[in-house]
Amino acid sequence: MINKAIILSAGQGSRLLPLTATRPKCLIEVGGRTILDHQLDALFAADVDEVTIVTGYRSEMIDAHIAARGNKVSTLLNPRWETSSSIYSVWIARAMMSGNFVLMNGDTVYAPEIIEDAITRALSGVNLLVDTLQQVTLDDMLVAADNDVIRAVGKMLPNDIATPRSLGVVIGRNEDGRYRHMLETLIDAPGGKAQFHHSIIDRLAAQQVVHALPANDAQWHEIDRPEDLEGWNG
């Protein structure tokens, strides 16, 4: 059973300025509710009962916001949120990176059935939730996959090999610790703290099977820029 999740919400979300000038990105409202509340509700609907949010920018606002959620939700502070990338937030929560877990970016709204279905279908090992690539944008994390096995992940993959794109959700089922080991290897390398956390998947895929888990047809929407706020119909 996968019952713990980590949400990466440390960054400011500078591309959403001025909306994030006074509040963290995950507390921006989409469809009348915050991104964070959309995510928490999706996780709880999938029977996840322990959620840790890695915070940084305006962390006190997130702490206050989740107070009503009780002991199901907690936070971990990334003290280097201004000078590091998302991989360092994963490092902060590394103790949770084995066995059964869900790891997600804090800037994407998911219909609950996407997360529930993905957790149900996740295979043993490491899974990355992906969706069909319609048109490449600068914000897409591209994935090269062959028969639902990931070969490479990155924002600069050639168009002829990038087939799906990542939804920013990693699922471990009975994961044996290799994900955390690769995290530790990368974080200690020169420039390691400046990498996206998808670098873990990219490097891991060269050594073992990492499953590309196709999302179902339910809605999801990444919020990177002010114009993205209009794209959610949930």
Task: Give the mean pLDDT of the chain.
Answer: 89
pTM here is 0.93
Q: Which two tokens stand for residue 79?
A: 């003290």
What confidence score (pLDDT) does residue 45 get? Answer: 94
Q: Do the domain assignments include residue 231? A: no
Given a contact cutoff of 8 angstroms between Cβ atoms, the answer to whether 115 and 38 are in contact is: no
The answer to whether residue 227 is domain-embedded is no
Cα–Cα separations (whole angstroms), residue 52 to 76, 77, 94, 204, 233: 7, 10, 11, 24, 27
In a domain, 203, yes or no: yes
- Per-residue pLDDT, averaged over 138-161, amounts to 82
| 96 and 8 Cβ atoms separated by less than 8 Å | no
Q: For 69-79, how does the pLDDT look when each residue is reduced to its tens digit (9 = 90+)?
A: 877 899 999 99
Of the candidates 62, 69, 83, which has an alpha carbon nearest to the alpha carbon of residue 20?
62
User: Is position 229 within any domain?
Assistant: no
> At CA 180, angle to CA 222 and CA 141, rounded to 5?
25
More confident residue, 65 or 138: 65
Q: What pLDDT score does 137 carry?
A: 66
Structural domains of the chain, count: 1
The token duo for 56 is 């940084």
Does residue 168 surpass a pLDDT of 70? Answer: yes
Task: Say if 11 falls within a structural domain.
Answer: yes
In a domain, 228, yes or no: no
> pLDDT at position 55, please?
97
234: in domain: no
Q: Which domain, by its residues, includes 42?
A: 4-222
How confident is the model over 5-12, as a mean pLDDT? Answer: 94
Split at pLDDT 50, 70, 90, the class of 232 is low
Peptide bond into 158 cis (omega under 30): no
Of residues 140 and 77, the one with the higher pLDDT is 77
Average pLDDT over residues 163-187: 90
The answer to whether 69 and 40 are in contact (CB under 8 A) is yes
CA distances from 74 to 5, 62, 90, 197 (A): 11, 10, 15, 21
* CATH code, domain carrying 105: 3.90.550.10
Q: From CA 159, how far away is CA 155, in angstroms rounded?
A: 10
- Whether 20 is covered by a domain: the verdict is yes
Would you say residue 18 has pLDDT above 90? no
CA–CA gap between residue 134 and residue 122 (Å, rounded): 24
AA letter at 173? R
